[in-house]
Amino acid sequence: MSILRIDSSANTETSITRDLTDRIIATLGDADVVTRDLADSPLPQITHTWAIARSQPEEERSAEQKEALSQSDKLVAELLAADTIVIGAPVYNFSIPAALKAWIDLIARIGVTFRYTENGPEGLVKGKRVIIAMASGGTPLGSEIDFNSRYLEHVLGFMGMSDVTFVAADALAKDPEDTIARAHASIAELRAAA
């Protein structure tokens, strides 16, 4: 099994999502793990050149356009090579960190990870299992103020990844011990389901 691990917490030392992703990966057992730490190695924002290049046929792209897409191509290759994607997604201001949004912007590629058909959009990244470790001070998973999980579930599903499970530590400001215990219990359930 191959796992792509995405860490997006700016907190590199005491991050709850990083701890949860560690535990999730340990639970999944023996696997080849590729780690993409978005805090340690920030990704570029998409640019005009990138946006034009992604729409050009590959054989018509200039050297500058190919260079603009090179990071995106690498990220897409990592995604496509993985059986399971484990994402650490803390809630920042009710949504995902900007670093994680940059990753999504770079992997959401028309004709590569999704396409439009006469029946509507079709995701092209199929057969992947996604596990998301979400942590928040007080934004409950699935609540009307949770734009983190709803966005991630939608955008990943748009690209074809519909098998999405959340491990939530979503009340850390209120009751950190119980919140962490519930998250750990969710991880144990992952082990039982494997």
* Annotated binding-site residue numbers: 9
Pairing of strands 120-123, 114-117: antiparallel
For the purposes of burial, counting CB atoms within 10 Å of the CB of 29, is it exposed (0-12), middle (13-18) or buried (19 or more)? exposed
Distance CA(22)–CA(12), nearest Å, equals 13
Sheet holding 163-169, edge to edge: 32-37, 2-7, 84-90, 129-135, 163-169
Question: What SS3 class is residue 165?
Answer: strand
56 closest CA partner among 125, 120, 111: 111
| Residue list for the binding site for FMN | 9
What's the start-to-end Cα distance of the chain, in Å? Answer: 12
CA 115-82-71 angle, to 5 degrees, is 65
Compute CA 126 distance to the chain's CA centroid, rounded to the nearest angstrom: 15
